Structure formats: C-alpha cells, structure tokens
Structure 1
C-alpha cells in the first residue's frame, strides 16, 4: 500500500466507481470510500486530513463545483469527465482533469502527480509556519530591546547582549526572555 495516499471515488454510476476502486486497489492505493452522492462524499472526506477525490461531473445530489467548494481547502481533486466538461471544470477550478474512457496508466500517473504535489505543498506550509514563528520571535526580541533601551538606557547592541546573556544563563530561549521583559 502507498503510505498516506487515501483516495475516494465519487461517481453517479456505482458500477463504474467500483471498477475504478478495484483498479486502484490493485495498484496499491487505499480507497476508503465509493460514493454516488455529494453529501455522503463530503461527510466521509471530512474525516481525513488529506485525501484525493476522484470525481465525476454530476453526482446524485450535487455537481462537481458544489463538492469542490465544500472540500477544496482540505482535499485534492481529480476530475473524471467527458471531453465537453473538461474545459469548463479546468476554467472554474484548479482541478486536474482526465477524460473518459479512463486509461489505467494515465489515471495512475495523474494520481501520483497529485500526491507528489500534496507532499510539496505540505512541506511549504511547514516552512511558512516555521518562518512565521521565527518572525514572531524576532518581533518579541525587538520589542524587548526597545523596552531595555528605554528603561535601562542601554544601546541596541547592549540590549541584545543582555537578552542573549540572560537566555544563556537561564537555559531559556531568547524569545522566552524577551516575552518576560515585555
């Protein structure tokens, strides 16, 4: 099984959806749901942190845009659509589309590319969070330096060294010392 590669299949034709599920399972993907309705798909998709939804244009109760609007923040999509719908879906969403009839190799390659993109996006999000944290820490240190400069008459360099020395002596991060000063 391919690690952390959760897939859901959503088509209005249950027989076709089950064939796709079987095809994916033989390729090692974890297919956790086969749905014909958008409401069921949404309910099931909210259980998973990240998943890939293979979806047709129309489901029993919703169309592809309605499902996409509900889940685009948490899920990736691969639209399995007929050629006339392909350009419409690509213009109105950021979904990757493949046309019917479904080719096993094309489907596998598309899924692998989407999962690879998910991994890259996840790494970028982690990097952004780390940088935001560092910026916040830097702001705290700058505020604390300002307070020390004003209250103790220190230069900017002296204020920084004071925070740094206190950090080293107490075994705490400079940000923690800065928060205490603030």
Structure 2
C-alpha cells in the first residue's frame, strides 16, 4: 500500500496539509517537523510519497533524499525561485501551494508507483518446472482431443483462467483432472 508522509518545519502546517489531502481521499501515514522523524516513519512503511519542505529542523531536503528507502519518492514544496535549483529526481510544487496542483501531483506520483509495481510483478513471474509441466500437459490434451494448435490450446487455458478467476496453473490442473476422471 502506498503511504504519504509529510515533513514540514512547522508541525501545524504539516497537519493542515494532512487535512487537505485526507479531504481529497488520500491517507496520510504520518507528519513530522524533522528529517530524522520523517525517515523513521519511511523506514516503517513500504513505499509512497514524502512531501517535504526544503529545510527542516535538523536537515535539508537533499540529505533526506539520499537517506530515503527505496520505494519512496519526494515531493518538495518550495518557492518558484528555489525550484529551478532542484535536481530532476525531485518533483516540486510551487509555494504557496494550490490545492489542485498538490492533489494532482500526489495522485500522479502514487499512480506511477502502482504501475511500476504491477510491471515489476509481471516481469518477475517465472513459473517453476512443475507449474510449467501442468500447463504443457493440459495443452497436449487439448491439442489431441480438440484438435487445437499449441497457440489455440494456450489461449483456451488462458481464457478459462481469466473467466474463472484462477491462475493458469490451477486451470491446467483442472483440465488434467477432468481428463483423467473420464
């Protein structure tokens, strides 16, 4: 789950920003007035966005950026004059903050993170030899009994899997069980 942490020099400002985000449907995990406090919260959470000011009570935004755990991105709230000095790896919203700019930027950041996670999850999905064997055997049965090509058999298993809400290995196992029951 994506988390939002807010770190601003004045804790009252951080709490006001949290209220704005929560009114727009976001969940804010924590607020802090120090970089060390924000980093402590980040280390407990999986991923998300750190919204911070350029200078906190104990450190600057670049030092925080260097120490942030992987999976978090920084959204810096800064004046227009300062934004031009910020590295490309840090997204910025100009102060004074316009609610629509903040909401749209946070939404965009969280959406991009979710897309990256889904893409990474798909990429890392390698089947074991045993799982691949179930699918291969089910394809062979479909090819022999229903006179399908290998591609058609694979697509059939894939479609049945999607229609039933099970993964392809479970669907292949069901096909094999049905065949051997006859």
Does residue 109 (structure 1) correspond to residue 89 (structure 2)? The answer is: no
The aligned residue for residue 70 of structure 1 is 67
Aligned CA RMSD, in angstroms, stands at 1.9
1:88 aligns with 2:85: yes
Hey, what's the Cα distance between the residues in 2 that align with 1:25 and 1:75?
A: 19
Unaligned runs of 5+ in 2: 130-172, 174-182
Whether 1:100 and 2:95 are equivalent positions in the alignment is yes
Q: TM-score, normalised by structure 1?
A: 0.66
1:69-108: CA deviation from partner (whole Å, max 9, x where unpaired): 11152312211111122122234xx121110011111111
Aligned to 2:115: 120
Other structure's SS at 1:40 match: helix
Specify the SS of the correspondent of 1:119.
helix
Matches within 5 A, 1:165-180: none
Cα deviation code 1:13-60 (max 9, x no counterpart): 222111111111111211111111111111111111112111111111
* Structure 1 residue matching 2:107: 3-state secondary structure: helix
Alignment of 1:139-150 (within 5 A): none
Query: Hey, what does 1:58 align to over in structure 2?
Result: 55
Any unmatched runs of 5+ in structure 1? 138-170, 172-182
User: 1-side partners of 2:90 and 2:120: how far apart?
Assistant: 20
**Alignment: residue pair count:** 130
CA contact (8 A) 2:6 2:52 kept: yes
Q: Which moved more, 1:26-35 or 1:105-114?
A: 26-35
Runs (4+) off by over 3 Å: none
